[in-house]
Structure 1
């Protein structure tokens, strides 16, 4: 008998038990997938620092699992919300109070987040924006602001978005690639983002096109949300130990495999002066 999973409030702190998939399509196929877990943390709960509502997650201190405010946003004394608000304001977007950060925790003090998702919702829980905070292994970061497609959606930061628009699972949101992530992919082309973030599950796709007609890489994050409790965190650690070290380890392991396949290595270019950008229409 199929057991229906209970719905959770998106205002809860949750743990996302998921599978990450990467598949390179050209010039040679290279694919892998692995189990991970993320935390889904409403900024409102992080701001209140209510330990009970946060599942007794350690904040800004060493523990089995912990969350450090300095790992995200401005990475200084300014608040996470100020960073998110500043990104939205820069591109003439409304300020959304309901923002949830989906990210990996620190595990025994270590963290590497290839990408974290800041999900912005309105009072009806519709997704109005997703801020993708991307990190590479060279200590650099870039932010892609994903916005709903609409007739007023342009490349100009000054042009406002249609206030009725929302991000739905059917939307593929396109952004110019302007950040070096992999030494085996050029800093050109497009990312195609898709977000299906529900109360009990999520399915996120980020596909890379080296040009408009050449899909080069497909990636996905697919998983199920559960309440963030000590028990669930312990189960996650046992079933997927040292998940953050696993993420960085797999990146380097796959790099070795790609080198063996004689795919050209691209040197790290100087990062662009602008460290954020937004999606556009096709």
Structure 2
């Protein structure tokens, strides 16, 4: 692992940085049955799961990547957890590179509404994208996606996320691998049309000590703020009379927790 001038990055193949920070704006737009929008600023990490950044010891509370926060939560590493999930779905990357976009733990807390894993084979070709969704009830669910040339994929909704949406409909996602810019889009479509849209936009910054400190000062306890913001907007919708759908028991996924 390379550390230069206080950087917390390592260098991947062909000198490509394997860790970066994205200063992000996340937008949610709910269209039915009540129109409501929220906008939230945060920062996300983009890392190679085999080359996770190592921070100087005093800064480690600001970012920790823990295998228990993803997939079954019982593997020894992020890579092992992902490989076990993929193996259960007959996917073998043969050691290929995996890029993850997610929040890290900050002061011991993490909440990732959406973590994305771009999974490549040993030749560098994109094999699949895994979109891991977390709800505020401590549950998680993975969608295995085969994106097309436009980086888009569709999948049925099978996981309870918001109490204001039933477990029905279909997601249409656009998930291009982040570069200098980050731009992800998730639409939920149901019998009423396009019911909900989430957009994540961001600008890449080298994952240096200075960049992390700057982000942490401007967005302290960023991941807890995301969790609290979702709860706050949920209360707003409840007070405006939006009907609640009872939480359903999730069916265990292959390669995930029972």
TM class by shorter-chain length? 0.7 to 0.9
Task: Pick one of 163, 166, 171 that aligns with 1:191.
Answer: 171
* Residue 99 of structure 1 pairs with residue 98 of structure 2: yes
Partner in structure 2 of residue 80 of structure 1: 78
- With normalisation by structure 2, the TM-score equals 0.85
Equivalences for residues 10-159 of structure 1 within 5 A: 11-46=17-52, 54=53, 56=55, 63-95=61-93, 97-122=96-121, 125-148=124-147
Task: Pick one of 183, 189, 194 that aligns with 1:209.
Answer: 189
What SS is found at the alignment partner of 1:81?
A: helix
Partner in structure 2 of residue 162 of structure 1: none
What SS is found at the alignment partner of 2:226?
A: helix
Deviation at 1:91, TM superposition (A): 2.8
Partner in structure 2 of residue 182 of structure 1: 162
* Residue 232 of structure 1 pairs with residue 238 of structure 2: no
1:33-74 Cα offsets, whole Å, 9 max, x none, are 11111111112213xxxxxxx26266xx96133222322232
Mark the runs of 5 or more structure 2 residues left unpaired by the alignment.
1-11
Aligned residue pairs total: 242
Task: Pick one of 246, 251, 258 that aligns with 1:272.
Answer: 251
Q: Cα 1:24–1:40, aligned 2, differ >3 Å: closer, same or farther?
A: same
1 CA distance for matches of 2:174 and 2:56? 29
Question: Which is further off, 250-259 or 190-199?
Answer: 190-199
What SS is found at the alignment partner of 1:132?
A: strand
Residue pair 2:66, 2:77 contacting (<8 A) in 1 also: no
* Structure 1 vs Structure 2 CA RMSD: 2.5
Residue pair 1:116, 1:133 contacting (<8 A) in 2 also: yes
* Residue 241 of structure 1 pairs with residue 220 of structure 2: yes
What SS is found at the alignment partner of 2:50?
A: helix
Residue pair 1:57, 1:66 contacting (<8 A) in 2 also: no
What SS is found at the alignment partner of 2:118?
A: strand
* Residue 260 of structure 1 pairs with residue 233 of structure 2: no
Residue pair 2:50, 2:79 contacting (<8 A) in 1 also: no
- With normalisation by structure 1, the TM-score equals 0.78
